[in-house]
A and B are shown apart, each in its own frame.
Chain A
Amino acid sequence: MSGSRTRRTTSLLFILAAVLPIVLLAVSLNMGAYPVPLKAVWTTVHDALVPGRPAAEASPYADILFRIRLPRLLLALFAGAALAVSGASLQAIFKNPLVFEFSLGISYGAAFGAALSLVFLGRGMPAQVSAFFFAILAVLLVLLIAGRSSSQIISVLLSGIIVSALFQALLSLVEFFANPYALQALIFWLMGSLAHATWSDLSLTLPVIGLGVVILILLRWRMNVLSLGEDEARSVGVNVRQEKILIIVVATLTTAAATSVTGVINWIGLIVPHLVRMMVGADNRKVIPLSASFGACLLLVADDIARTAASFEIPIGILTSVVGIPFFIILLKRSGKVWL
């Protein structure tokens, strides 16, 4: 961990974090069931960005690229950033490296809310609203059950397991009452999929995620202070309660905004922050922004694999779990207090 070399690695990582999502976005536009040549991608994007050509000459690929692929890719980038940044933030303020959206009940709270809305309210109301509500409810329940010992690792994890189980049960109840067509859609959505991304879904989700991620990135240094524990943070002059609530609410809303469209995509919020910590250390001034970028990239690549690896769509939630769980085991074995 000595001096200028680490600093150079860090600045290289920041440059990579800025460039990589854009490069991956361009490459991913080119990938898919219907091959679009790179050159055509370029001219179509160029035409769309630089007006002046008559509409009749519009590229034949415009529909595929802008109506089908672009919303999906943007959703992958935003959802990946949302999950990774929320995970990193929650780990910091709970001073608990094993906390992420899933272990706080947020994922299944949001999933239950969205499912409830989809099955019983239909498309009339955006599923996000109900997802937000139940995600917040889930976190409140976890904090309530964990009680005053909420800074302790075990009690938070146990409460999270209980609350997740509760919302999974409620979710099954919704499935039980759903009609067969709704049920099929619901199950596929629950496994996690970006396939149904449309601009109308995204019009609410992307701004919420964007705003949430920006707020959390702005609070990145504060998370260093909050990660010392409540008493210490208070004694150096932080209004702990107020700032903790702010971060929990923003992280929950951001995750719920993603989950309500993508379904349950696990492990991103755990893997990405830890990978980043392994590379740059624990300082949240680096961990939070780098997590945003690498989370976005990871989910985008995972989605590229999900939609191109087989002749059918692999549910992305399954993909991230299959990769995530072995990674989690390695993490547990290796965590000799090196980066935690």
Chain B
Amino acid sequence: MKVQVRALTFSYGLFTLRVPEQDFGEAGITAIVGPNGAGKSTFLKCAASVLPVSRGAVLVGGRDMAGLSARARARLAGYVPQEPSFTFNYQVLDFVLTGRAAFIPAFSSPSRRDIEIAEESLCFVGLEGFSRRLFLELSSGERRLVLIARTLAQQPAVLLLDEPTTFLDPRHEVGMMELLRRLAREKQKTVIVTLHDLDMAVKYADDMVFMKGGAVIASGPPRDVLSEPLLKAVYDIDMGIVRTNGRLVIVR
């Protein structure tokens, strides 16, 4: 499903995010990159309707998110936070089941079908057998996967992930990016992700969006959009782009 951002404005304090127009392609990975404080996470949260948009619109599949109920929104777009703040130590399955909230009436509990969907989501992210484990006993890589499983159980067309690879070791980082690629290819999801690691973005993203100072500087497929002047403009340091074996590598 297509995500279209139109004339979006969001501000708090001195920071203002302004995105006149930005489209995200269907069934692909879009990586939002940029320096700290560029507004990547804010843009992601606005696109996911976690933050209220002060002006402008976010359209998912042509429908304006602002006009929809929380229930309808959750079925279109799922937001994956970096790490949930936890008070109660739920079992993994109970946590993943909360992703089914949009499908379960308030006065009701998850059905057998809901539990199956939650178990399938856990399998998809590679955590079969984790259902009865306690969330707080998991490693930080496993927690990220549980968060994604929860959003998969929500069955949205669009997944928005906030820096899912930060603090992961190289193996888990690659595993995470492979998982995102499978989501886009096998499940036909539109995946929008904020990333710090430019190499990962170049390698896995179908599109890249460069942000700085609350605005989008450039966007498009890595091959077309990536250039040394752009990197200099966005990050204020000199970086080189090397082409080896048909791959783009960024050298600092």
Which A residues fall within an 8 A CB radius of B? 1-3, 6, 92, 95-97, 218-222, 224-225, 227-229, 231-240, 243, 277, 281-283, 285, 337-340
Contact = CB atoms under 8 A, between A and B. Distances in A.
Contacts of A218: 107-108
Interface in B82-129: 84-85, 87-91, 94, 97-104, 106-110
Contacts of A97: 87-88
Contact of B154 (A219, A234, A236): A236
A122 B84 CA distance: 51
Interface string B11-52: 000000000000000000000000000000000000011100
B107 A1 contact: no
Contacts of B109: 220-221, 285
B210 interface: no
Given A221-B108, A229-B84, A236 B101 contact: yes
A238 B102 CA distance: 7
A236 B136 contact: no
A97 B99 CA distance: 23
A216 to B, nearest CB: 11
Given A232-B84, A283-B94, 14 more contacts: A1-B91, A96-B87, A219-B107, A220-B109, A221-B108, A227-B88, A234-B50, A236-B74, A236-B150, A237-B73, A238-B101, A281-B91, A285-B109, A340-B88
A334 to B, nearest CB: 14
Contacts of B49: 235
Interface in B56-101: 69-75, 78-79, 81, 84-85, 87-91, 94, 97-101
B87 A95 contact: yes
Contacts, number: 101
Contacts of A3: 132
Nearest to A338: B89
Interface residues of B, number: 40
A97 B88 CA distance: 8
Give the 6 A-B CB pairs with smallest separation, nearest first.
Answer: A237-B74, A237-B102, A282-B88, A221-B109, A95-B87, A218-B107
A49 B35 CA distance: 77
A208 to B, nearest CB: 19
A339 B98 CA distance: 19
A221 B110 contact: yes
Interface of B: 48-50, 69-75, 78-79, 81, 84-85, 87-91, 94, 97-104, 106-110, 132-134, 136, 150, 154
A231 B73 CA distance: 13
Contacts of A235: 48-50, 74, 78-79
Contacts of A236: 74, 78, 98-102, 150, 154
Contact of B134 (A1, A92, A225, A228): A1
5 contacts: A6-B132, A229-B84, A231-B50, A239-B70, A282-B94
